[in-house]
Structure 1
Amino acid sequence: MVFNKEIARFAVGVIGNIIALILFLSPLPTFYRIWKKKSVEQFSPFPYLATFVNCGLWVLYGIPLVHPHSILVVTINGTGFGIEVVYLMLFLLYSEKKKRIKIFLIIISEIIFLVSLAIFVLTLVQTHKKRSTIVGSICIVGNILMYASPLAIMKLVITSKSVEFMPFFLSLFSFLNGVSWTAYALIRLDAFILVPNSMGTALGLAQLLLYGIYYKSTKRQNAERQAQIEMGPKGVGLVG
């Protein structure tokens, strides 16, 4: 029974890795748009800043010196960490100066925090259990921040009645990622993975509901904007 449980946990973990990878890659259309327009427009960097530090924390949590037998946690979060570096470089490249400085300072602060935590845990804390508890508790906070980071965008969606700046696939795979890692944590109970991912499932579902509510109004706004462009300023663009 234990053997079968471990096989099931590994299988769900692999599925979680695949879904999480798709989640990490889902903003690619957004960043293609940023690269093409050479502007970040109203896209927020905070989901990517939160995911960057969150991935770093989970890599630390999953290494054998902290929490043995968690290689699947390390593989996907190490991959995600590298992907977020690329995204944040694009934000630095195409943001206005004031915003660029703010993003840069946050990135440096997050790196200092991750390095300091790793040094503290690996040199001053002696047992796996204590290391797992310390890093896992911080991971819960980091994971919740990652899942909650789109709240600002959700507020923009509600006020503007438009989902233009809330990418659908990012919301979808945030939800699926929460579901898969919640299942992973339940097979062999791991509260540090279970708590934030169950909350992430709920937040992901809320984003999908908002998308469904405001999808039609977004299409209408885009159509009106396109019509104004075609008409020209003050509706005289077609006059010869």
Structure 2
Amino acid sequence: MQVLHFLFGVLGNAIALFLFLSPTVTFRRIIKKKTTEDFSGVPYNMTLLNCLLSAWYGLPFVSPNNLLVSTINGTGAVIEFVYVTIFLIYAPKKVKSHMMGLLALVVTIFTSVALVSVLAIHGQTRKVFCGSAAVIFSVCMYGSPLAVMSLVIKTKSVEFMPFLLSLLVFLCATFWFIYGLFGHDIFIAIPNGCGSVLGAMQLILYMIYRKNKGSLSKSATTSTQAIAHPCVEIGDKLDSDNNPVNVHQHLHDSFVVEQV
């Protein structure tokens, strides 16, 4: 049982790392153009918070036998912090101020959870407190994959939901769900079980609309903004290849939800 627990944790780490690195396409674009264009920095701040809380939960003195949770989420936190830093460098002044405020909020929330868990509570209560905090913020991010699926249904196009990434999202969440089951940890099993279901739904939608992969028109893209999650923006303008500029943010937001 312990071997399987470790194995699924390693598999989850490997796929999650690939998914955390997938937004590098977006940031290469930002660095090259020296502007954040219409991209939103909110998802990266929220993912940073989610990673910090999950990494803290996986520490031995909080949750024994969950070090693999800390390794991947600690790595994810570093990657997300780099994304946020790049965004701050190239964002317009008004957006930069907003991003700084969000980053301050992220640091405040994480610091508060960490201090309370160290100074005020101990033992199983500490695990429940930190696990609950991590789960709450994970669940709050479920709006992103739901928004992507809603977009696919509305446009009848899988342009925003490539098969490979959808498959990896499903596998990542499933591996962590099984990891949580083997470890008898509801704070890992429950959110990733939900993520696995969402991943399966994405694959089903892909099979239904897989023949519709053409680029959306500008008017069609603009009309989908109303169904987007507040933390995600669907670009209302197209790049030189006639593709919405914010597509990679949707993909990024779709996978980070499942990380715990």
TM-score, normalised relative to structure 1: 0.78
How many residues get paired? Answer: 222
2: distance between equivalents of 1:60 and 1:109? Answer: 17
Contact 1:57 1:114 in 2 (8 A): yes
1:186-205 matches, cutoff 5 A: 186-205=181-200
Q: What corresponds to 1:237 in structure 2?
A: none
* 1:91 aligned to which of 87, 92, 97: 87
1: distance between equivalents of 2:113 and 2:172? Answer: 26
1: distance between equivalents of 2:68 and 2:182? Answer: 15
TM-score, normalised relative to structure 2: 0.72
Q: Counterpart of 1:149 in 2: which secondary structure?
A: helix
Q: What corresponds to 2:11 in structure 1?
A: 15
1: distance between equivalents of 2:91 and 2:34? Answer: 9
Q: What corresponds to 2:128 in structure 1?
A: 133
1:47-66 matches, cutoff 5 A: 47-66=43-62
More helix as a share of residues: 1
Contact 2:156 2:212 in 1 (8 A): no
Q: Counterpart of 1:219 in 2: which secondary structure?
A: coil
2: distance between equivalents of 1:219 and 1:211? Answer: 15
In structure 2, relative to structure 1, the CA distance for the partners of 1:103 and 1:58 (3 Å cut) is same
1: distance between equivalents of 2:63 and 2:192? Answer: 18
1: distance between equivalents of 2:149 and 2:37? Answer: 16
Q: Counterpart of 2:215 in 1: which secondary structure?
A: helix
2: distance between equivalents of 1:42 and 1:215? Answer: 29
Between the two structures, name the one with larger relative contact order (CA 8 Å, sep ≥ 6): 2
RMSD: 3.1
Contact 1:148 1:203 in 2 (8 A): no
Contact 1:27 1:169 in 2 (8 A): no
Q: What corresponds to 2:107 in structure 1?
A: 111
In structure 2, relative to structure 1, the CA distance for the partners of 1:116 and 1:67 (3 Å cut) is same
2: distance between equivalents of 1:51 and 1:228? Answer: 29
Structure 1 unaligned residues grouped into runs of 5+: 230-240
In structure 2, relative to structure 1, the CA distance for the partners of 1:130 and 1:105 (3 Å cut) is same
1: distance between equivalents of 2:130 and 2:241? Answer: 53
Bigger Cα Rg: 1
* 2:120 aligned to which of 119, 124, 139: 124
In structure 2, relative to structure 1, the CA distance for the partners of 1:103 and 1:169 (3 Å cut) is farther
Q: Counterpart of 1:40 in 2: which secondary structure?
A: coil
1: distance between equivalents of 2:32 and 2:160? Answer: 16
Percent identity between the two aligned chains: 42
In structure 2, relative to structure 1, the CA distance for the partners of 1:174 and 1:92 (3 Å cut) is farther
1: distance between equivalents of 2:102 and 2:19? Answer: 23
State the 1:207 CA deviation: 4.4
Contact 2:159 2:213 in 1 (8 A): no
Contact 1:153 1:166 in 2 (8 A): yes
In structure 2, relative to structure 1, the CA distance for the partners of 1:155 and 1:99 (3 Å cut) is farther
Structure 2 unaligned residues grouped into runs of 5+: 219-237, 243-260
Contact 2:42 2:102 in 1 (8 A): no
* CA offsets 1:140-160 (integer angstroms, 9 cap, x no match): 112223443344555566667
1: distance between equivalents of 2:7 and 2:217? Answer: 44
